[in-house]
Amino acid sequence: MLASVRSSTLDGIDGAVVDVEVHVTNGLPAFTIVGLPDASCREARDRVRAAIESSDLSWPMQRITVNLAPTCVRKVGAGLDVPIGLGILAASEQIPLESLADISAVGELGLDGSLRPVPGILPMVDVLETGRVIVAAADAGVAALGAGDRVRPVRRLRDIVDVVSDGLPWPHVEPPPYDDEIVDEPDLADVRGQASARWGLEIAAAGGHHLLLIGPPGGGKTMLARRLAGLLPDLSPEAARMVTRVHSAAAIRLPGSGLVRRPPFRAPHHSASMAALVGGGSGRVSPGEMSIATEGVLFLDELGEFAPSVLDGLRQPLEEGVVRVARSGAMREHPANVLLVAAMNPCPCGEGGSVSCRCGPSSRLRYSRRISGPVLDRLDVMVHVDRPSPTALLEREPGESSSVVAERVARVRELAASRGARTNAALNREQLEDAAPLDSEATDVLHQALVDGRLSARGAMRVRAVARTIRDLDDAGPTIRARDIYCAIGFRVRPPLGGCDA
Amino acid sequence: MREDAYAAALGGLSGATPLRLHNLLRSRSAREALRAIESASIGAEVAPPEALAEWQREISRLDLPSASARLDELGAHVSTLHEPIHPPQLTNDIDPAPLLFRRGRLPDPSLLHVAVVGTRRASAIGREVARELGFGLAQAGVVVVSGLALGIDGEAHRGALLAGAVPPLAVVGSGVDVVYPKRHSDLWEEVASAGALVSEAPLGARPEPWRFPARNRLIAAFSDLLVVVESRDYGGSLLTVEQALRRDIEVMAVPGSVRNKAASGTNQLLVDGCAPARDVTDVLVALGLSVIAVASRRNEPEVNAPESPLGTRASPAHRAAGIGDSAAVVGRTAVVLDAIDDGPTSVDEVVDRSGLDVIEVYGLVEELVALGLVVHDGSRVRRQH
């Protein structure tokens, strides 16, 4: 007997439809699975057999062949357990064959016959365009984002059999508790002092300018960076869906309602490999931290400790907003619209720029050379973060809260949208000419900076974009004034880093 | 073949210490000294028998023509005691240097020589002061002596070269053909071509640590006065000071911030009674060169302050228009300028002191940078002088 069940598997951050064909015939009992399954897929036999037997059904002692079509797509994970189980049951005439006609299923089976959630459920459900979609109860919320009311959440394999062979109604499954309203993003109000750094964050958030925080250990660079995501507006519906897809594919815990509504914040450790950061891996191309942080904040703490090759790998994605990962089999494009925040010490001992620095000039030079020029070039705003003075820590009133700053940020972002770009940082040359006209004094200042060699041509464009953001934050006047340009130059990255003049 | 190839060969013998060479060369030329070694006609007080045997082995392998060619190629010369070209300061020293390799022209020994030395790990301000001292001294007709090391030494040489007046003298620890530190290879060549570069070490000698104290003694021997710009509590500069004191040479120290670790040694020197060197004028006065400058400085402090041509970033156009002058700065810009120290100040401190907005302060600071009045290295700002 031959049965076929529709299902899907994960390919990068996209789903791919898979038809699970099961053939049961006489002969010595055997189980073969073909069609490019990976290891966890191959192990399906043992899980499915135990699940069927635990569900008071019987495992056919016959020759079973499972084919996963199309064979060219690599099948990963245990999401095919349920369709394989259903296929075996149908092919061995334990459930009616025709009942599977408008059903697709994605889920892992436990040995007790229960359905378990699988990573990437959203992109996988997305490609199952018709009929009812059986998923594990725990996946119900996220799957509903893709297939709406076609989703049939189920707790046990037995429940499916009851519905398709005995005509019982689909079981009612309580949606998981709705817990994502409690957003625990840290608030900017906790930051005492740090006037420059607050502005740096605000400019970065408002204009989408990549930010570099430099300062001694214990100055609060990490604390500040963590507050950046809280300044960004909620994700647009399209962005939210994209982020949710990526997070689903990367097996990151999603909020209870399924949809990721707040910009993600990702802080990969500096030992991260190229594959971890931009995506990759053997077999399937899984999204890297850059894609997981898309539409949000990617925080690289201890920038100087990242492998230089890994950092250079960020250049193209930062420029284009997409990561292209090529593997022998295929090329994948993943989104990578991140706001990059990097933090580093000014020198190996961390005290550079102050008189207590213990580093020799050569070690300081080596340290600052670890970051390649092209990477630094993509960081538009630099702020020195000093350790706050004890009086500031103890006495100051709480600073402005994130919500107040976020309002200004949202306003500037709307202005950028009205100019036809995601952010001011993304304005191209022509758009800048229109959106950031310079008054005559500002032209002189920029010209002088170019003549003095304090700015490169590319740097001047970046300064202009940052000046646009500064003006937007101030009073959103149409022209860029000299003071806006001066201010934008004041926030520029100056190599060599960290005040070493060796 | 050149005559000084013999001296070069003699200097290259292993274990040829200044004391042994001095005993050898006291009454002989280099060529005669080599013959004396070959024929073993030197006393045991000059070299013990095992050293003599080793020297004889080395002499039997000597390749004088190629040594001569190497000297030609480098444009280097070797001089020994009693030769007229040998610097009299070294001949008459308490630890005489009997043999000296040099590139370039030695300065006239009748000129005043001032050593400007200090730590390799100097602060930005220390470097600036060293450069200004080098510049001012050279302009005043003084030979600036230093060691071509990273930090203070190199900056002193740079300043002296910039002045384009009296070229500097560098005393190095490695052979004159072994550039150390590598990062100073340009400076090394500039000093060798404009001024003089000397060493006691034979050609090809690596910069081994033990060579530097001996080098420091030569710096002291060459000098009429020693200025230490920045030194830590322990360091080569303090060895130079010791050598200067043995020779009754006046030592001056540049005062530093009490928080600046790179200046803790120099501040200790001041506590111990060295005269402070605040600027070139102080040094010139100590040399007896500039009484007028002192008088005018006391009466008209602003007018006579020498305009520093170094380090200032104001564009020529600005300077011509008189914009690079702090008097021309008014209003809020002046408030910000007042809030900036001579030493490194964080922008947040400037914000606190001026009571202005952060954004405004960033703009005004950058305006001051464009005027060349302030330096902003991304971490800190400070006044530029």
pLDDT of residue B290: 62
Domain spans of chain B, in order of start? 4-87, 113-299, 316-383
Q: Please check whether residue A479 lies inside any domain of the structure.
A: no
Smallest CA–CA separation between A472 and chain B, in Å? 12
pLDDT of residue B328: 62
Q: What is the pLDDT averaged over residues A322-343? A: 86
Q: How far apart are CA A320 and CA A333, in angstroms?
A: 11
For residue B379, give the 3-state DSSP assignment.
Answer: coil
pLDDT of residue B142: 93
Q: Mark whether A317 and A265 lie in a shared domain.
A: yes
Helix H, strand E, coil C: the string for A117-128 is CCCCHHHHHHCC
pLDDT of residue B283: 93
CB < 8 Å to B376, chain A? 490, 494
Q: Mark whether A111 and A222 lie in a shared domain.
A: no
Question: How does DSSP classify residue A492?
Answer: S
- Number of domains making up chain A: 2
Q: How far apart are CA B280 and CA B313, in angstroms?
A: 21
Of A400, A421, A442, the residue at which a domain comes to its end is A421
Q: Mark whether A161 and A192 lie in a shared domain.
A: no
Q: What is the pLDDT averaged over residues A167-193? A: 74
Give the domain CATH number at A119: 3.30.230.10
Q: Which of A387, A489, A492, A493 to mutate to test the interface with B (most CBs of B within 10 A)?
A: A489
Q: Please check whether residue A75 lies inside any domain of the structure.
A: yes
pLDDT of residue A183: 60
Q: What is the pLDDT averaged over residues A145-150? A: 87
pLDDT of residue B205: 92
Strand (E) positions, A243-296?
265-266, 279-280, 286-287
Q: Please check whether residue A251 lies inside any domain of the structure.
A: yes
Provide the β-strand partners of residue A266.
A298
Residue-range definition of the domain harbouring residue A352: 188-421
Q: Mark whether A162 and A195 lie in a shared domain.
A: no
Tell me the CATH number for domain B113-299: 3.40.50.450
CB contact under 8 A, B151 and A361: yes
The answer, yes or no, to whether residue A292 has pLDDT greater than 50, is yes
Q: Mark whether A211 and A138 lie in a shared domain.
A: no
Of A382, A400, A421, the residue at which a domain comes to its end is A421
CB contact under 8 A, A355 and B123: yes
Q: What is the pLDDT averaged over residues A459-486? A: 90
Q: How far apart are CA B273 and CA B285, in angstroms?
A: 17
pLDDT of residue B380: 81
Give the domain CATH number at A262: 3.40.50.300
A487 touches chain B (CB under 8 A): yes
Q: Mark whether A102 and A201 lie in a shared domain.
A: no
The answer, yes or no, to whether residue A211 has pLDDT greater than 70, is yes
Q: Mark whether A122 and A254 lie in a shared domain.
A: no
Smallest CA–CA separation between A458 and chain B, in Å? 19
If pLDDT is split at 50, 70 and 90, which confidence band does A71 have?
confident
pTM for the full predicted model:
0.65
For residue A133, give the 3-state DSSP assignment.
Answer: strand
Q: Mark whether A296 and A147 lie in a shared domain.
A: no
pLDDT of residue B299: 47
Q: Mark whether A236 and A106 lie in a shared domain.
A: no
For residue A427, give the 3-state DSSP assignment.
Answer: coil
In contact, A334 and A12? CB cutoff 8 Å: yes
Q: Please check whether residue A172 lies inside any domain of the structure.
A: no
Q: Mark whether A322 and A387 lie in a shared domain.
A: yes
pLDDT of residue A57: 93
Q: Which CATH number fits domain B316-383: 3.30.420.40, 1.20.144.10, 3.40.640.10, 1.10.10.10?
A: 1.10.10.10
Q: Please check whether residue A161 lies inside any domain of the structure.
A: yes
Of A396, A421, A446, the residue at which a domain comes to its end is A421
Q: Please check whether residue A381 lies inside any domain of the structure.
A: yes
If pLDDT is split at 50, 70 and 90, which confidence band does A283 have?
low
A170 touches chain B (CB under 8 A): no
pLDDT of residue B307: 43
Question: How does DSSP classify residue B344?
Answer: -
The nearest alpha carbon in chain B to A381 belongs to: B378
In sequence order, the 6+-apart residues with CB closer than 8 A to the CB of A127 are A8, A14, A15, A16, A17
Q: Please check whether residue A50 lies inside any domain of the structure.
A: yes
- In tens, the pLDDT along B313-338 reads 344 444 334 444 556 677 888 888 88
Smallest CA–CA separation between B125 and chain A, in Å? 10
Name the residue among A11, A68, A73, A80 with its Cα closest to residue A284. A11
pLDDT of residue A266: 92
pLDDT of residue A399: 78
Q: How far apart are CA B269 and CA A495, in angstroms?
A: 35
Which A residues, 376 through 405, put their C-beta within 8 Å of a C-beta on chain B? 382, 384, 386
A123 touches chain B (CB under 8 A): no
Q: What is the pLDDT averaged over residues A260-278? A: 89
The nearest alpha carbon in chain B to A482 belongs to: B363
pLDDT of residue A501: 38
Q: Please check whether residue A428 lies inside any domain of the structure.
A: no
More confident residue, A490 or A393: A490
Q: How crowded is the C-beta side of A270, counted as CA atoms within 13 Å?
A: 12
10-residue mean pLDDT profile of chain B (385 residues): values are 89 89 89 89 84 89 88 92 90 91 92 94 88 92 94 94 91 93 91 94 91 94 95 90 93 92 93 93 86 47 41 40 55 86 81 86 88 81 79
Full DSSP string of B142-188: -EEEE---TTHHHHHHHHHHHHTSSPPEEE-SS-TTS-SSGGGHHHH
If pLDDT is split at 50, 70 and 90, which confidence band does A136 have?
very high
Beta strands A286-287; A297-300: pairing state: unpaired
pLDDT of residue A172: 84
Q: Mark whether A192 and A159 lie in a shared domain.
A: no
Q: Mark whether A151 and A237 lie in a shared domain.
A: no
The nearest alpha carbon in chain B to A489 belongs to: B366
